[in-house]
Amino acid sequence: MRKIINQPNDFVDEMIDGILLAHPDKLKTPGDDKRVLVRADAPTGKVGIVTGGGSGHLPLFKGYVGKGLCSGVAVGNVFSSPSAQQCFEAAKAVDGGAGVLFLYGNYGGDVFNFDLAIDLAELEGIETRTALGRDDVASQPNERKLDRRGVAGIFFAFKGAGAAAERGDGLEAVAAVAEDIIEHTATMGIGLSPTILPTTGKASFDLPEGEMEIGIGIHGETGIHRGPLETADQIVERLMAPLVADLVLVRGDRIAVLVNGMGATPLEELYVMYRHVHQQAALIGVTIEKSYIGEYATSLEMAGASLSILKLNDERLELLKAPADSPFFVEV
């Protein structure tokens, strides 16, 4: 195992130390637990948005705490949920009197602990709502979309809900924005090599040399197709076809596109992919209004990428264009 780490069990805390030292103007810890981070400039009187989940996915989740995005985050160990107490402490720290939206990925451990945090928040008189990212079309068919995993497409929900909260929308409205964006987002990923977990030194899944897996999850969850590595254009078509079908995209529709690197894929390759995404969109008469290319939700050093599409209307596009500022994402 080749990793730039010290003691494996210190990996997450030392990573958080580095983030706090690098961005003291944007992030802070409200108490003694460094696994709870909040905006350094969190306003009062506006809806707070708390996200959270396991480490290993940077910039998800910690990277999206900032103006026009999330207000706080609870940080777990690698691929592990934060505790209920950490989720609650994040909510308490960002509550400015307008309530708190819990916005995170649809994974069992996260759901369990955030639900417990809701109970703790109620005892403190903090009003909460929950929106679950569930954009991974490979994890469940459309008729069971409420059970889908949350992957890179949750970025769109962070962006939209964060913009709504920043402009002063109430809790119900901010939650509705998040749900609307989640409902119109779909993602499919491809894995080319596994993640090596720092604490065990073992691969998260087994993939023979020269093969790819379409539909793989960000923790190495099984995909829907495994076979020989194909060309970039063929891969894009495999990823894009189910997204177009799931969102029922037709000529004249407008979309936002996220081509996301999983941790070990060069940016150049992501732009090769985007080139064909753009070509395929033009072929079916769909206009790309916003595009994002880079690492937005990783899986440590997994090689591979994911493609997320958000079906747009005027409101969703306006929210995506709103200003945002965090350690890992800035839009002016």
User: Could you tell me if 213 and 130 lie in one domain?
Assistant: no
Same domain, 22 and 126: yes
C-alpha to C-alpha distance for 193 and 227, rounded to whole angstroms: 13
Show the DSSP H helices in the chain as ranges: 11-22, 84-94, 108-123, 154-166, 171-183, 232-247, 267-283, 314-321
CB 78 within 8 A of CB 300: yes
Domain that holds residue 254: 185-311
Collapse the DSSP code of 66 into the 3-class scheme (helix H, G, I; strand E, B; otherwise coil) and give the result. coil
Residues catalogued as catalytic: 57, 219
Reduced 3-state DSSP string for 298-330: CCCCEEEEEEEEEECCHHHHHHHHCCEECCCCE
Task: Answer yes or no: do 139 and 221 share one domain.
Answer: no
* DSSP helix/strand/coil, 151: coil
pLDDT tens-digit map of 124-141 = 999 999 999 999 999 999
Share of the chain above pLDDT 70, in %: 100
Residue at 328 is within a domain? no
Asked if residue 108 and residue 19 are part of one domain, the reply reads: yes
For the chain, the domain total comes to 2
Q: Of 183, 206, 233, which closes a domain?
A: 183
Query: Does residue 70 carry a pLDDT above 90?
Result: yes
CATH number at residue 137: 3.40.50.10440
Q: Residue 195: inside a domain, yes or no? A: yes
Question: Which residue do the tokens 């402009």 mark?
Answer: 167
Looking at residue 248, its pLDDT comes to: 98
Based on the fold, state whether residues 132 and 189 are members of the same structural domain: no
DSSP H or E stretch at residue 78: strand 72-78
Domain identity same for 175 and 194: no
Establish if 316 belongs to a structural domain.
no
pLDDT value at 35 more than 70: yes
CA atoms of 35 and 102, how far apart (whole Å): 16
pLDDT for 239 beyond 70: yes
Tell me whether residue 317 is in a domain.
Answer: no
For 241-284, what is each residue's pLDDT tens digit? Answer: 999 999 999 999 999 999 999 999 999 999 999 999 999 999 99
Reply yes or no on whether the pLDDT at 307 is more than 90. Answer: yes
Does residue 332 form part of some domain? no
Q: What is the mean pLDDT of the chain?
A: 97
Q: What is the pLDDT of residue 47?
A: 98
Q: What is the pLDDT of residues 77-117, one digit of tens each?
A: 999 999 999 999 999 999 999 999 999 999 999 999 999 99
What pLDDT score does 195 carry?
92
One domain for residues 30 and 137: yes
Residue 7 lies in a domain: no
Is 50 within the bounds of a domain? yes
Query: For residue 1, is pLDDT > 70?
Result: no
Q: Are residues 69 and 117 in the same domain?
A: yes
Is pLDDT above 90 for 205? no
Question: Is 42 a residue whose pLDDT tops 90?
Answer: no
DSSP output for 124-140: TT--EEEEEE--BTTTS
Poorest-pLDDT segment among 42-51, 73-82, 114-123: 42-51
* Under 8 Å between Cβ of 203 and 194: yes
Token pair, residue 206, equals 């087994």
The rounded radius of gyration (Å) of the Cα atoms in the chain is 19
pLDDT at residue 202, rounded to an integer: 87
Angstrom distance (rounded) from CA 116 to CA 209: 43
CA distance to 171, 218, 301, 304, per residue, from 139 (Å): 30, 11, 22, 17
Percentage of residues in the chain with pLDDT exceeding 90?
95
Question: Taking 90 as the threshold, does the pLDDT of residue 200 lie above it?
Answer: no
pLDDT of residue 44: 86
- The reply to whether 141 and 195 lie within a common domain is no
Q: Are residues 39 and 80 in the same domain?
A: yes
**CATH code, domain carrying 269:** 3.30.1180.20
Q: Average pLDDT for residues 149-168, to the nearest whole number?
A: 98
* Cis omega (within 30 of 0) for bond into 155: no
| Same domain? 25 vs 164 | yes
Domain contains 5: no
Q: Indicate whether 164 and 189 sit together in one domain.
A: no
